[in-house]
Structure 1
Amino acid sequence: SENNIEIYEFIVLGLTRNPELQGVLFVIFLFIYLVAFLGNMLIVVAHHYVFLLALAIMDIICTTSIIPKMLWPTLTSEKIISYGGCMSQLFFFTWSLGAEMVLFTTMAYDCYVAICFPLHYSTIMNRHMCVALLSIVVAIAVTNSWVHTGLILKLTSCGPNTIDHFFCEIPPLLALSCSPVRVNEMMVYVADIILAIDDFILTFISYGFIIAAILKICTAEGKKKAFSTCSSHLIVVSLYYSPLIYTYICPSTSYTFNKDKVVAAVYTIVTPTLNPIVYSFQNKEMQVGIKK
């Protein structure tokens, strides 16, 4: 089309246009980012559980690809992000997002083996199995990210380059396109079903078996400890999957920016901050590792 224009940069409006809130939001999100970054770095340094290490690295990538760039305009009023920077942000965000969803299922399976087959755990979850599972996680995540980023790169724009969001996410980018986005939306639905819904179901099936095994534990203390671990994981999983499924199951035409910014903040900022608290800081092994 003759109206197609070449986009070299985007204007990212951020969480709010109210200048009075900019300073407050800067302090809040800087604090959240520091908690998320330092908390996850502590896991990397002090923990030897390979899946938790992987989750911490993914959380660091997710928050670092979004929050620093989101904070910069509140200091400088410069809301511009280059086209390449936007696509890079999209790639790393979708990569960490996809990896975390598959990893949550892997961690649920690991917990299932540990509680349901404790005597065979070291045999089943050996080094080769852990490497194979992590390789699958990375392969699925990279494939998912390349597909979505590649499809976005093929879109053309006819008008505004203003993203009404706080980072380069798929729905607001699709809303800017003047070329058909049916294939993009179809692939988002496919990813939503395969990664979000299927992983969510598999995670809860694993925990169904785990809870059944816990109920057979004789001691009250043993049951309490096991239920505490399960409930923490299920809370994080629910916080992570619910907004994701909601955001990506909606077509771009029905995307409501102000409401969905808040929803996106839950799985991009809040959950990565909660992960180290839920999974590690309540864990005695982690506390010993931090002291060392």
Structure 2
Amino acid sequence: MKQNNNSQEGFLLLGFSDKPQLETILFVVILVFYILNLVGNTTIILVSGLDPKLHTPMYFFLTNLSFLDLCFTTSVAPQLLVTMRSKDKSMSYGGCIAQLYVAMGLGSTECILLAVMAYDRYAAVCRPLHYAVIMHPQLCLTLASIAWLSGLVTSLIQCSLTIQLPLCGHNRLDHIFCEVPVLIKLACVDTTFNEAQLFVASVVFLVVPVSLILISYGYITQAILKIKSSAGRRKAFGTCSSHLVVVIIFYGTIIFMYLQPVKSRSNDQGKFVSLFYTIVTPLLNPLIYTLRNKDVKGALKKLILGKVIG
């Protein structure tokens, strides 16, 4: 995205401006989801940090996920909300580039982190006697670091390649935020190399992690079937199915966005798909992974009652 005159002036983030009534409804929905996202994920971070009983590998990764989701949604939602309620749909060149790097880095990190969390659940369910030895603090820190660093590195590579593309006067982004496939689509030169690079990165960060997650949950399912108690099996299956719903929504929507040819992608479909993995899934994560969890609810009650009594 070489800085021609138009791109230096900024971009027009069109979003859903071609559908004014839908835009008004979506503004309210996105605002509510964003506020709930902030409250839910902040609560998880505070509770996990303040209650010693939750200082376990599972909640260490969940804290990372909550912080990640807070940053991911915040990199998209505020700017989107501002442009949706303003007649001026402009976004600065610097703001677009910053959003491009940050959103892709955080999204890529989450792809790896969810796979790490699936491995943690596999170790807890299938290797319970060795769980503490397998998931020792140093390994947890290493796995989390790999997730964060890999996401930031791939963002640096993919976004740096994208911003070199000349837009030849185009500055209308018919999307909800600055995203690599959308900017590639605006380029007026041959983008075969960029699309190939993006495809390879997408396979590494989408297909491989989701495959590992499904394998992990396959082993977890086998372990659950061995549980003699029918109530225990139902509870375990309920938890696993909830986790898989989040995985399917998150990976499914991103795969739709990144693994199909850039030129064949529908703008409207892309906007709604992007809403799912930037706004909806980050809210589902705290609801599914922790706020339905008895340990978290118990810790939250203790903290609230402690403050009230204190």
TM-score calculated relative to the size of structure 2: 0.90
Letter in 2 for 1:236: V
Residue 283 of structure 1 deviates from its aligned partner by 0.1
SS where residue 11 of structure 1 aligns?
A: strand
Could you give the per-residue CA deviations for residues 52-92 of structure 1, whole angstroms, max 9, x where no partner exists? Answer: 00110111111100011001023332211111111111111
Instruction: Kindly report the root-mean-square deviation, in angstroms, between the aligned alpha carbons of the 2 structures.
Output: 1.5
Structure 1 segments unaligned to the other structure (5+ residues): none
Residue 159 of structure 1 deviates from its aligned partner by 2.2
Letter in 2 for 1:204: L
Distance in 2 (CA, whole Å) between partners of 1:268 and 1:90 is 13
Tell me what 1:248 maps to: 258
Within a 5 Å distance, the mapping from 1:1-292 to structure 2 comes to 5=5, 7-8=7-8, 9-47=10-48, 48=54, 49-291=59-301, 292=303
Letter in 1 for 2:183: L
SS where residue 75 of structure 2 aligns?
A: helix
Residue 42 of structure 1 deviates from its aligned partner by 0.8
Letter in 2 for 1:74: M
SS where residue 273 of structure 1 aligns?
A: helix
Distance in 2 (CA, whole Å) between partners of 1:190 and 1:219 is 45
Distance in 2 (CA, whole Å) between partners of 1:267 and 1:226 is 26
Distance in 2 (CA, whole Å) between partners of 1:288 and 1:16 is 44
Could you give the per-residue CA deviations for residues 68-118 of structure 1, whole angstroms, max 9, x where no partner exists? Answer: 100102333221111111111111111111111111110110000000111
Distance 1:214 1:112, change over 3 A: same
- Given that residues 233 and 279 in structure 1 are in contact (C-alpha distance below 8 angstroms), is that contact kept between their aligned partners in structure 2? yes
Distance 1:74 1:260, change over 3 A: closer
- Given that residues 58 and 100 in structure 1 are in contact (C-alpha distance below 8 angstroms), is that contact kept between their aligned partners in structure 2? yes
Letter in 1 for 2:258: Y
- Given that residues 75 and 103 in structure 2 are in contact (C-alpha distance below 8 angstroms), is that contact kept between their aligned partners in structure 1? yes
Structure 2 segments unaligned to the other structure (5+ residues): 49-53, 304-310
Distance 1:181 1:5, change over 3 A: farther
Q: Would you say how many aligned residue pairs link Structure 1 and Structure 2? A: 290
TM-score calculated relative to the size of structure 1: 0.95
